[in-house]
Structure formats: structure tokens, C-alpha cells
Amino acid sequence: MLSPADTAQSLVKGLEHKVKMPIVSIIFLSIMAGGSIAMGDIFWAHSTVGVAEASSPGIANFLGGVAFSVGLIMVVFFGGHLFTSSLMSGVSTLDHKLSFSKTIFYWFIVWIFNFVGAALVAYMYYKAQLPLKYDGQILHHFLEMGVAKNNLSFEAAFIRAIFCNVFVCMAVWAATGASDAAGKVLSIVLIIAAFVGSGYEHVVANMFIFTEALLAKAYYLNEAGGTIQALAEHSHIAAAKLEEFTFLNIIPNNLLPVTLGNIVGGLFFVGVVGFMSHKTDMKK
């Protein structure tokens, strides 16, 4: 296992390398990372269906957290570019090793193509009819979750996102410091299970959830005859909330505050604090 200073050194060099990769590589590895997080979401949904009702919400949260961690494991082992963990590259910008414009452009590209990957997996998952298993419980759950996330206050979404990315970036930090594959997996699983089980907000996971929820809305609208009022009666969700749940609204209502919160949690709470605290030892 690496020391905290050696881990910070290894992580910062790896992130600088990622920012400087060819744009085509960044795009493909960002799509891969978004798709991996989406597949972690799918495993989470299938692992927890009915568990809360049959056992307890706590057990469902724990199982879901462990299942979801598979997404980040795939990202780490394949070298994917995930927006939330990539935010720590901003430390190199503050240390004048990367230009501000290059870092912001890198973040923007990763965010966009994480969305592409997450949305692509969501569509393929929907077309495979897998959300309709278990009498459609999974598809309906995505609709409920998407509407609920769309109705979070800016403050709540922002703060939950800060907590989320402290856990995600610490998981990547711990995995970087682990000396073998088993240590990396265990580091990721335990820390990510804590984030998911606590109900925090991850912007890339939300990209998948919102896409699936919008597909679910379209499906249930067709089933209910095409009117919001009929859908409200069918889904037991308030018509006003369903009316508000559109692609144009999810960005300002959730993805924006969650993106900002993830930046604060990853860049400042982990990145700046961690790297600056160990900077002297890193130089040695």
C-alpha cells in the first residue's frame, strides 16, 4: 500500500496524463465511463427490487450500494474518464501545471460524453425490455425516482452532491493507493456502498436515471392513453410533477446543482485538501 503522499503523487500524475490524452481517446473513454456507471445503476436496480418491502430499507440500501460499485470498478480498471473523479485534475491547474482553459474544456468533454454513454446504455436497457421484469416494478421505480430528483431543491441537490463526490474521489484515492487488484476492489466497494446507501447525488448516475425515467414516462403515457392526468392516476404521482418532468427541466432542476456540488466535493474537499496537505512530502 502506498503512503498518502505517494498516493497523491501517483494520482495527480495520472490525472495530468488523462487531461493531455488525444481528444478521441478522451471521448471514447468518457462514453465508456458513463456507460459503466449506468450498468452499475442497472445492477443496483435489479439487486434491490422488492427488498425494502420484504426486509428493510437499510438492507436494500446496503445491497444497492455494493451492486452499484461495480460501475466504478469498471471505470478504474479500464481507465475510463469519469466526470466526478476527473474533477481532481483541477489541483494541477491550481498548481500551474495545467492551464485553466484546458482543464475546463476537459471537464466539459467528459461531462458531455459521460451523458452520451449513460443515455446510450439507458436506451439499450429499455429496448431490451429488462425494466419491465418483476411486473414492471423497476421501470416504475425509475419514473418515481426521476420525478423525485427533479423536485429536489437546489440546496438539497447541491449539498448531497458534495457528500457524494467526497466518497467517489476517496474511493479512487484509496484504489490508487492499494497495491493489488483485491485491495482496489475492496476500497471501491466499501466507500461507494456508503455513498449510495446514504442517498447522495452523483451527476453521471443521474444522467442514466433521468434518461430511463423519461423513457418510462413515455411508455406509461402511451399505456395510459396519452394524457398526463391519466398517467398521474396510473402511476400515483402528482400530475403537476409529471408535467414538470421534462428533459429541459432536469438540467436546471438537478444536473446543474449536482454538477456544482460534485465539483466542490471532489475538487476542494478531497483534491485541494488532500494534495495540499501532502504537498511537502510529495516534493520529498
pLDDT tens per residue, range 55-108: 889 999 999 999 999 999 999 999 999 999 999 999 999 888 999 999 999 999
H/E segment holding residue 224:
helix 203-224
At residue 155, the pLDDT reads 98
Q: How many CB atoms sit inside 10 A of residue 96's CB?
A: 8
Q: What is the pLDDT of residues 201-224, one digit of tens each?
A: 999 999 999 999 999 999 999 988
3-state secondary structure of 39: helix
CB burial of residue 248 (10 Å; 0-12, 13-18, 19+): exposed
Cβ-defined contacts of 120-125 (< 8 Å, 24+): 120/31, 120/34, 120/35, 121/34, 121/35, 121/38, 121/39, 121/42, 121/208, 122/38, 122/208, 122/211, 122/212, 122/215, 123/211, 123/215, 125/38, 125/42, 125/212
At residue 276, the pLDDT reads 85
Confidence of residue 53 (pLDDT cuts 50, 70, 90): confident
| Calpha distance 249→252 (Å, rounded) | 6
- CA 159 to chain centroid, in Å, comes to 15
And the C-alpha cell for 25? Answer: 481517446
At residue 117, the pLDDT reads 98
Q: What is the pLDDT of residues 117-165, one digit of tens each?
A: 999 999 999 999 999 999 999 999 999 999 999 999 999 999 999 999 9
Confidence of residue 279 (pLDDT cuts 50, 70, 90): confident
> pLDDT at residue 283 above 70?
no
At residue 282, the pLDDT reads 72
> pLDDT at residue 284 above 80?
no
And the C-alpha cell for 186? Answer: 475492496
The angle, 0 to 180 degrees and rounded to 10, between the axes of the packed helices 4-19 and 154-177 is 110
Q: What is the DSSP letter of 71?
A: H
Q: What is the pLDDT of residues 233-268, one digit of tens each?
A: 988 999 999 999 999 999 999 999 999 999 999 999
| Calpha distance 203→111 (Å, rounded) | 9
Q: What is the pLDDT of residues 1-12, one digit of tens each?
A: 889 899 989 999
Backbone dihedral angles phi then psi of residue 229, each to the nearest 5 degrees: -65, -40
pLDDT (mean) for 20-41: 98
> What domains lie within the chain, and their CATH numbers?
2-276 (1.20.1080.10)
At residue 278, the pLDDT reads 83
In the chain, the largest separation of any two C-alpha atoms, in whole Å, equals 69
Match 444497492 to its residue by C-alpha cell.
64
